Amino acid sequence: MKKTLLLLAASVACAFPALAQKTYTLTSPDGRLRTTVAAGDALTYAVTLDGRPILDDSPLSLTLDNGTSGGIAPRVTGVSRTSVDTAIPSPFYRSAEVRDRYNGLTLKMRGDWSVEFRAYDDGVAYRFVSRAKKPFNIVSEQAEYRFPADCAVTVPYVRDHAGNIDAQWRNSFENTYTETTLSKLDAGRLIFLPLVVDAGDGVKVCITETDLNDYPGMYLWNGDGGQHLTARFAPYPKRTEQGGYNNLQMVVKEREAFIAKVEAPRTFPWRVAIVGTDPDLAASDLSFLLAAPSKIDDTSWIKPGKVAWDWWNAWNISGVDFRAGINTETYKYYIDFAAAKGIEYVILDEGWAVNKKADLMQIVPEIDLPAIVEYGRQKGVGIILWAGYWAFDRDMENVCKHYSEMGVKGFKVDFMDRDDQQMTAFNHRAAETAARYGLILDLHGTHKPAGLNRTWPNVLNFEGVHGLEQMKWSPGTIDQMRYDATIPFIRQAAGPMDYTQGAMRNATRKNYRPVNSEPMSQGTRCHQLALYVVLDSPLNMLCDSPTNYLREAECTEFIAAIPTVWDETRILGGRLGEYIVTARRKGSTWYVGGITDWTPRDVEIDLTPLGIDATVEATIFRDGANADRKASDYRRESIRIDTSKPLTVHLAPGGGFAMKLKPEKTGGMKKR
C-alpha cells in the first residue's frame, strides 16, 4: 500500500515554495533566558542566556504514516501565551513542595498539532501535542541540538555493542561518563540521557526528557563530527521471545519501521534543556515539574524509607548458629537487624522464587514466605520482593493481588533493559497496578525516572545508574569517585536513583579490587556516609551485611537515622566531576554532606543560606587523619558550630563528610 508521509515542521523546503518565516520569542521569568521559535519551511528554536547563544537554530519535527496529506511545513493557526507561578506539593521528593514558575508559548498548527514551549529560569522545554482522533504511527521524530561551538561534553554511552546501533536498543542504562567534545563523539555509540554540554563561561546545558509514557525514550548521537546532537529512538517491537537473563525478559527479535503507535489525542514527552552553572544543574527540579501530576489521590499509604539489602553483601552474616543464605532463618536475622535500627524494610532479592521459571508463585523450599512476612509485621518491618520484569508482567494482576493480601509491601522489578514504547508503557502499567493494591515499587534495570516519580509516587526509586553494585566486579580502572562527583549534576537531574550505598569495607585507589562475595567501595567511609545526603533516594538501601553494620555502630546509627525524603534541599557548592556539598532539611534538623573525587581538597562551606540560628549543635563524620592510607579511617565529633562563619572541612582522596545540625533548643529556624 502506498503511504503518504506527513511531515510536521520538516526541513523539505527544496520541494516547496519557501514559506514566509514567522518568529516568536519566549523569555524566562527572570528575563535571562530567551527562546526564539521560527516557523517557516521548518520549525526551529534557539536559546540565548544574557544575550549569548547557547543553542543555535535547532529543528524539531515528527514524521507520520497515517496517509494524511499536506502539512509539510508548519502553518501556525493560533498562538497563546501563559505565565504560571505556583507551588506543587511533592511529599516524596527532595523538597516538600516545589515552585513551578515559567512562561509558556503554544503554537497551534494546521493538521491537529500543537507545540508547547516553556521557559523557566533554569531551562527551556518543548513538547508536541496531537489532537487527532484517528490512530496513526510515528515513523520518526527529529530533535536536534545545534551548538555555536565545538563544546566539551560529558556523556554516558550505551556500554555494549559499540558499532552496532541496532543492538544498543537493549541496554541497562548503566555506564560511567566519557568526557570529550561534540566533534569527537563516537559515531558507533548511542548516548542515553541525561548528558551535559559545556557552553563556556561557567554555563552548562543538561539535556534530558520527562513525562515519558507510552513513547520510546530518546537517545542522542553524532554521526558526522559536527557541532550538534541528533535524536534516535528505538523502533517499535514487532516480535519478542522470552529469554535474556534467566528467562526473565522478553527479547526483541524484530522491530517495526516506526517508533510509536498513537491511538488517541495525547501529549508527547518534554524535551528539556537545563541551563545554568554546575550547582544550578544539581538543584534543578524541571524533570519533576514537567511531569504529569500524581494519579494517586490518597498517598497516605506510601511509605518511603531505608532497606536492609541482602544481595550486595552475598548474605554474608556471621556469628550465628545457622547456615546463612536464601532461607527463612537468614531473613529473620535481617528483620531483627532492621527492627533494632529503625529500618523500614527488608528486601528479598533474587533467589526467593524458583530460578528460570519466570513464575513468582513458585517459591524455593528454603523460604517460608508467609512466615517471613508475618515476622516482619510483628517487628514493624515491611518486606519487599525482587522480580524479573517478565515474571512480573506476565501475571501482574494476580501477583500484585496475591502478595498484597499476604502483607508484602512492594516489589523491586528488574531487567527491563529497554525503553522502546512497549517498555515505557510497562513501567506506567506496573505502577498503576501496584498502586491499586497498595504496593510500592523500585524499578531496576530501567531508564532514568523521566517524571514517573511524580505521576506515580508509589514508584519510590529507580536504577539507571552505575551504582555501588558495580564494585562487586569492576576493575580498578573504573573511576567511581569521579562518577560519584558527576551524577548529582547529570543523572540526578532526571530524578531519584537507587545507588545502593553504605559499604563498610572501604578502599583507597591503590587498595581497591573487585571481590564479588565480599565487596568493597572505592573511597572513604565518610564518602559512603555522605552519599545518603548527597543523593536523592526516597527508598534507600543499606547495602552491606547486618553483621558489618553491627560492628560499626556509630556509622550505622547515623545513616539509619537519616531521612529519605525532605522538606528542603540546597546545593551549597560543587563542580561537575570534582566535588559537591548538599544540605537537606527535615523539620528543624539539617543534614549536610559532601564528597570529592580522588583529589583531596579543603571545602569551605557557607551555612548562612540555611537560615538557622548562629550557634547549633553538630555531629560530624569526617575523614580521619590516615584516610588516604586506610579508607575506613574516620573521626566522629560532637561540636557547636557558629553558622555565621564559613566552615572548612578537609576531604581525603575519594573522601567525604556528613554532618547533622540541630538548632539550639532556645533558638530555631530563621525566616528565609
416/383 Cα distance (integer angstroms): 22
Question: How many H-runs (helices) and E-runs (strands) does the chain carry?
Answer: 12, 39
**In terms of DSSP bridges, do strands 579-586 and 6-8 run parallel, antiparallel, or are they unpaired?**
unpaired
Which one-letter amino acid corresponds to residue 281?
A: L
Burial class of residue 93, CB neighbours in 10 A (0-12, 13-18, 19+): buried
Q: What is the CA radius of gyration of the chain?
A: 25
Q: How far is the C-alpha of 53 from the C-alpha of 404, rounded, in Å?
A: 54
Decide if 274 contacts 122 (C-beta within 8 A): yes
CB neighbourhood size of 196 (10 A): 26
In this structure, the chain runs to a length of 672
Alpha-carbon gap, residue 216 to 665, rounded angstroms:
53
263 is catalytic: no
Q: Give catalytic status of residue 414 as yes or no.
A: yes
User: Which positions ≥6 away from 20 have C-beta within 8 Å?
Assistant: 40
Check residue 649 and give left, alpha or beta (phi > 0: left; psi -120 to 50: alpha): beta
Query: Of the candidates 631, 233, 294, 348, which has an alpha carbon nearest to the alpha carbon of residue 471?
Result: 631
Residue 461's contacts (CB-CB under 8 Å, 6 or more residues apart) are 442, 443, 496, 497, 498, 537, 538, 539, 540
Choosing from 420, 469, 498, 628, which is the catalytic residue? 469
d(C-alpha 364, C-alpha 348), whole Å: 12
Cβ pair 437, 400 in contact under 8 A: yes
Single out the residue of 416, 359, 426 nearest to residue 391, CA to CA. Answer: 359
The cell numbers describing 394, all together, are: 506476565
C-alpha span between 622 and 365 (Å, rounded): 46
Q: Which one of 414, 417, 420, 484 is the catalytic residue?
A: 414
For residue 413, give the nearest of 431, 386, 393, 434 by alpha carbon. 386
| The Cα angle at residue 303 between residues 299 and 304, in degrees rounded to 5 | 120
Residues sharing a CB contact under 8 Å with residue 308, sequence separation 6 or more, in sequence order: 334, 335, 337, 338, 343, 345, 346, 347, 542, 546
Angstrom CA distances, 296 to 34, 457, 567, stand at 36, 8, 21
Question: Residue 179 and residue 155: Cα distance in Å, rounded?
Answer: 7
Cα torsion angle, 435, 437, 442, 446, sign: negative
List active site positions. 414, 469
